[in-house]
A and B are shown apart, each in its own frame.
Chain A
């Protein structure tokens, strides 16, 4: 039905992912209201939301493409670009900010040559993103390495962890 979505991340499983996405939409009875839930499923399956995937979702749920795009770009959680193999999420919530998250973010970005506008390294190995609060304020400053939350680390510790990813 649609061409295999071009994915920079995983080479395998294109067809399977599409089937799983369709199953997710079926579970929601293809309701237009379920757009956010479906986008979540798609993001989980593909790692990001490509134009083809968005178009497919729009067609399946009978939602106009501009609306799908508008919704996908409204929320921080959805990414229209592939993320790196590893993601370092620096929490910039108040508690973490007060405990020096700003410096951690700056150091980590410098280490990988990234910035506010560029969040993924050219070789696709690592991304650095900012979270507005992951709710781990008790162990501020909080940094998430992929799925793992770590607290109370200084800039050096965070940087050396991230260095290990790109070596």
Chain B
């Protein structure tokens, strides 16, 4: 296992084989905003919040999918990176109907947390106000498209951890939406095992439990790493 040394915001650090820049940042107390990343799930580099500057590359690289290489010179923050992160969150808020005041995840929402983190306090772009629907056909859970940011964590957890692959994404572009089975109401999706993993990984109030609707959600997402360690290494560590 080769260890690499590189510069992280000017500070020399060491990285293990296959370690991502995101992991490296966390290890060294450097905070990077993320939304599509979740420990325990594969990384897709989709939200673009964790982009960092690497000397020698004219492209910004997503920290979650970029492996640390020997001699890299990584900058995790700059005026322009800050501006991009803010704008990305603005675009998200403008894309669907994220009205926090009436949302079950209010106060426990990763989108809100990221907005605070990147300093987004107003949205300059036109609110799209798409017509969205709520799917409450499942006996225990609800899907609210208005809150979905298409992070695909639900798709990945259902595919990679529960392996039922109930969730996927239909259509393309801004018309994309998450679907269950043959785009049937969730309650009719035969493949769903009601395990609730998708609820737990969802960063916003798009997926929530009916019985928690009134009191609000609070989600513990650490269970994924717990399961993975158990399954892959035979270790149950809390």
Q: Which residues of A are interface residues toward B (Cβ below 8 A)?
A: 51, 54-55, 64-70, 73-74
State which of B38-46, B163-171, B217-225 sits at the interface with chain A: B163-171
Judge whether B171 and A64 touch: CB under 8 Å: no
Q: State whether the Cβ of B181 lies closer than 8 Å to any Cβ in chain A.
A: yes
Q: Can you show 10 pairs from A to B with CB atoms below 8 A apart? A: A64-B166, A64-B168, A64-B181, A65-B182, A66-B179, A67-B168, A68-B182, A69-B181, A70-B168, A74-B170
> In the complex, which residues of chain B have a beta carbon less than 8 angstroms from the beta carbon of A55?
182
Judge whether B180 and A66 touch: CB under 8 Å: yes
Chain A: minimal CB distance from B186 (Å): 11
Judge whether B171 and A66 touch: CB under 8 Å: no
Q: State whether the Cβ of B132 lies closer than 8 Å to any Cβ in chain A.
A: no
Provide the bound-state CA to CA distance between A14 and B46, in Å: 42
Judge whether A70 and B182 touch: CB under 8 Å: no
The closest CB in chain B to the CB of A71 belongs to: B168
> In the complex, which residues of chain A have a beta carbon less than 8 angstroms from the beta carbon of B164?
64
Interface residues of B in 196-221 (CB under 8 A from A): none
Judge whether B182 and A54 touch: CB under 8 Å: yes
Besides the contacts A64-B165, A64-B181, what 14 more A-B pairs have beta carbons closer than 8 Å? Answer: A64-B191, A65-B182, A66-B165, A66-B166, A66-B181, A66-B182, A67-B168, A68-B182, A69-B179, A69-B183, A70-B168, A70-B169, A70-B179, A73-B170
Chain B: minimal CB distance from A144 (Å): 22
The closest CB in chain A to the CB of B182 belongs to: A65
Q: State whether the Cβ of B172 lies closer than 8 Å to any Cβ in chain A.
A: yes
Judge whether A69 and B182 touch: CB under 8 Å: yes
Ranked 7 nearest A-B pairs via Cβ:
A66-B168, A64-B165, A70-B168, A73-B170, A65-B181, A65-B182, A73-B171
Report the contact-size class of chain B (Cβ under 8 Å from the partner). Answer: 10 to 19
Provide the bound-state CA to CA distance between A39 and B166, in Å: 20
Judge whether A69 and B170 touch: CB under 8 Å: yes
> In the complex, which residues of chain A have a beta carbon less than 8 angstroms from the beta carbon of B183?
66, 69, 73
> In the complex, which residues of chain A have a beta carbon less than 8 angstroms from the beta carbon of B169?
70
Chain B: minimal CB distance from A163 (Å): 32
Chain B: minimal CB distance from A46 (Å): 16
| 1/0 contact string of B146-172 vs chain A (CB within 8 Å) | 000000000000000000111111111
> In the complex, which residues of chain B have a beta carbon less than 8 angstroms from the beta carbon of A51?
182
Provide the bound-state CA to CA distance between A66 and B168, in Å: 5
Provide the bound-state CA to CA distance between A109 and B21, in Å: 52
Judge whether A74 and B168 touch: CB under 8 Å: no
The closest CB in chain A to the CB of B191 belongs to: A64
Judge whether B165 and A74 touch: CB under 8 Å: no
Chain A: minimal CB distance from B194 (Å): 16
Judge whether A74 and B180 touch: CB under 8 Å: no
Interface residues of B in 88-117 (CB under 8 A from A): none
> In the complex, which residues of chain A have a beta carbon less than 8 angstroms from the beta carbon of B180?
66
Chain B: minimal CB distance from A6 (Å): 14
The closest CB in chain B to the CB of A68 belongs to: B182
> In the complex, which residues of chain B have a beta carbon less than 8 angstroms from the beta carbon of A67?
165, 168
Chain A: minimal CB distance from B12 (Å): 44
Provide the bound-state CA to CA distance between A69 and B191, in Å: 14
The closest CB in chain B to the CB of A66 belongs to: B168
Provide the bound-state CA to CA distance between A123 and B171, in Å: 27
> In the complex, which residues of chain A have a beta carbon less than 8 angstroms from the beta carbon of B167?
66
